[in-house]
Amino acid sequence: MAGRLLVVEDEEHLAAGLKLNLELEGYGVDVATSARAASERLVASSNGYDAIVLDVMLPDLDGFELCRRLRDAGNFVPVIMLTARSAAEDRVRGLEAGADDYMVKPFSLEELLARVRSLLRRRAWEGRRGTTSSSVLAFGRAHVDFDTHEVTVAGEALKLTQLELDLLKYFSEHPQRVLSREELMEKVWKLRNYGYTRTVDNFIGRLRKHFEEDATDPRHFLSVRGAGYKFVPE
């Protein structure tokens, strides 16, 4: 099996279509039609899912809140949010709630499949990397343990998503080097020739918000005009 997925979507025809197509790709798929059903599934499976496809509009709780509760409970399973609106505010809300990626309805099935594959590849790669590489990063006022997900800034605990940690990890392994958006998409998101590099900019914004004393005057996550980004530990 390529992986176990939980699809949380109350529109039954859409849920059934997603289930069918994901199963054709080799995934094991469960469907939950409410946030409550999703929570029950997650408990019953001991969080045995490799990723969650999570619709924002659910009959009981919205997807943002469900995602936030998962993260608060220390569950860092990759989440792709499905939003009905393309409003930037919705995307930001999803990412701030701890989602790893989002898609705007109506989306192409092929793109969803590509993003699911990308999330699971990254996860497999994380697993393989094991404990051989250094898992602790200290810079500025920040201390980051990539194994335990424990992050503090000036002694205050922060919660980062898996993707934020992956991006930070990649920067920490390539300090002082200009990294293009395309390289970051390929190495961190595992998406080659993907084109949509604004995702990188969104995540840099999030890292700055987390770690910079003044996000408008960054000292660690620097923009290099026309080239990309550079991580400066000190």
Rounded to a whole number of angstroms, the minimum distance from the CB of residue 84 to Ca ion is 8
Residue range at the interface with Ca ion (CB under 5 A); choices 6-14, 25-33, 44-52, 91-99? 6-14
66 in contact with Ca ion (CB under 5 A): no
DSSP structural state of residue 221: E
10 in contact with Ca ion (CB under 5 A): yes
Rounded to a whole number of angstroms, the minimum distance from the CB of residue 11 to Ca ion is 5
Q: Is 9 helix (H, G, I), strand (E, B) or coil?
A: coil
Which is nearest to 34 in space by CA: 66, 57, 59, 17?
59
Handedness of CA 82, 196, 187, 150 (dihedral sign): negative
For Ca ion, give the closer residue by CB, 10 or 145: 10
158 in contact with Ca ion (CB under 5 A): no
25 in contact with Ca ion (CB under 5 A): no
For Ca ion, give the closer residue by CB, 11 or 23: 11
With CB atoms as reference, the residue minimizing the distance to Ca ion is 57
For Ca ion, give the closer residue by CB, 10 or 23: 10
For Ca ion, give the closer residue by CB, 32 or 160: 32
Per-residue tokens: 77:
């399973």
Per-residue tokens: 6:
């939980």
What is the CB neighbour count within 10 angstroms for residue 12?
A: 10
Report the residue from 4, 47, 57, 215 that binds Ca ion according to the rule CB under 5 A. Answer: 57
Q: Which amino acid is located at 138 in the chain?
A: A
Rounded to a whole number of angstroms, the minimum distance from the CB of residue 120 to Ca ion is 23
For Ca ion, give the closer residue by CB, 10 or 183: 10
What is the CB neighbour count within 10 angstroms for residue 174?
A: 15
3-state SS track over 90-114: HHHHHHHCCCCEEEECCCCHHHHHH
Whole-number Å distance between alpha carbons of 111 and 195: 12
Rounded to a whole number of angstroms, the minimum distance from the CB of residue 34 to Ca ion is 10
For Ca ion, give the closer residue by CB, 13 or 225: 13
64 in contact with Ca ion (CB under 5 A): no
Report the residue from 55, 101, 164, 166 that binds Ca ion according to the rule CB under 5 A. Answer: 55
Is 194 exposed, middle or buried (CB count within 10 Å of its CB: 0-12, 13-18, 19+)? middle
Binding site for Ca ion (CB under 5 A): 10, 55, 57
